[in-house]
Amino acid sequence: MKLVRGVIEVLGSFGLACALLLNLFLLTLFGTLYQVEGGLFEAQKRYFESWYVVQSTPVPLILPGGVTCMGLLAINLFLGGFVRIRKSAATVGVIVVHVGIALMLAAGFVKQFHSEDGHLTLAEGQSSDEFTSYFLWEVAVWDASQTANVEEYLIPNEHIVDLHGNGKRTFSNPALPFDLELSGFLRNCDALPKGPMWQADSPVVDGYALKALDDELEAEQNRAGLTLTFRDRASGATRTDLLWLFEQHPATFEAGGKTWAASLRHVRYSMPFAVRLEDVRKEDYPGISTVRSYESDITQVEGGAEKRVRIQMNEPLRAGGLALFQSGYQAFRGTEVSTFSVVRNPSDHWPLYSCIVIGCGLLLIFLPRLYRFVRAQNKKHAAAAVT
């Protein structure tokens, strides 16, 4: 019992809170420096979405990663701010502040594990009811004879990205007459005609092979590729093909009297409404070609109803649990293209709520003190006036 009490005291101590805040400062410092060479995505994964970090210094420094640090901070907040604190009228404001901080931490947890984000890129006149992930991959398999309401079978990101080197994995589905084997995932590569002057990083298929490239600094610019093998369960026939992000045609295979297709792509998310881009405009700073702002006029189509909306920087569209932010503009051969960053985050408004709760808690802390101070000053001035 004494051991349990001691552990609770340590986990809820002010000293541990200070140590965790110092650790967060170091993670932010090292992560910012690493971002210069490794890119934002890798820095986020390495420092803020990890259990621990081994920092290369003259003496290797092992730090709790962002997940561990925030988890311990949540425990410290609960024990120190709710369990061990003295409950009285004088500490109501402190408890309310801790409630607000806990809500902020909960918002971060929900954002990390239960949100979806990506982009929607449209040329003027185009429409879509899907947005695309920046970083996550999937392999889609479908009956190539379908032209509408295509039913797809998806292999998710976590079953693909670890297939480096000789790694391979076989996928089966009772609804499909074949098995699918994936191998040799390359996070960034080119598909090139195989010549004698370079070493292929994949099997050579129809004279083409994949050549691994260094990762791009901006991870969303990586062009992934892998090797795919169809295997007909009835006849045993096989076909090997290469999947690449910028492939012109999907890989195909005959099985069960049908032609099947497969493609590697960024993960797609459905939206509860469609977006049609009507017009996009950009404004430059006077006299220079630096962009000052973008704005897009869109039509939101939902349930047969249409609604005109303008999306511009710092003024997103929020609807159906999604937020669409204006994030990019391109002009190509007379065609203007607009890019929207799309976020589906159940805790989107929680930080605002937490700030309101924290503000209320601070008022409960400082207003009584201000009242007592003013009252004491009034008494002091009254006494001085009498004398």
Sheet containing 168-171: order of strands: 168-171, 178-186, 225-232, 238-244
- CA 132 vs. chain centroid, Å, equals 12
- The CA distance from 345 to 321, in Å, is 7
Tens of pLDDT, residue by residue over 131-148, are 999 999 999 999 988 877
Q: Which amino acid is at 185?
A: F
Tens of pLDDT, residue by residue over 211-220, are 999 988 888 8
**Averaged pLDDT for residues 105-121:** 90
Q: E-assigned strands of the chain?
A: 52-55, 61-64, 116-123, 127-143, 152-155, 168-171, 178-186, 189-193, 208-212, 225-232, 238-244, 251-255, 258-284, 291-302, 305-312, 317-319, 322-332, 335-344
* Side-chain half-sphere CA neighbours of 8 within 13 A: 13
- The CA distance from 254 to 237, in Å, is 9
Residue (of 99, 60, 76) closest to 19 by Cα position: 76
Helix, strand, or coil (residue 176): coil
Q: Which amino acid is at 330?
A: Q
pLDDT of residue 387: 65
According to DSSP, residue 331 is labeled E
- The CA distance from 188 to 58, in Å, is 32
Name, in order, each residue with C-beta under 8 angstroms of 270's C-beta and a sequence gap of 6 or more: 129, 130
Confidence of residue 271 (pLDDT cuts 50, 70, 90): very high
Residue (of 301, 302, 297) closest to 312 by Cα position: 297
Confidence check: pLDDT of 309 > 90: yes
pLDDT of residue 160: 95
Tens of pLDDT, residue by residue over 335-386, are 899 999 999 999 988 999 999 999 999 999 999 999 999 998 988 888 887 7
Helix, strand, or coil (residue 86): coil
pLDDT of residue 217: 86
- What residues does each domain of the chain span? 2-114+365-381, 134-269
- CA 28 vs. chain centroid, Å, equals 18
**Averaged pLDDT for residues 165-177:** 91
- The CA distance from 180 to 154, in Å, is 12
- The CA distance from 51 to 298, in Å, is 42
pLDDT of residue 304: 84
The two tokens of residue 190 are 């080119």
- CA 282 vs. chain centroid, Å, equals 27
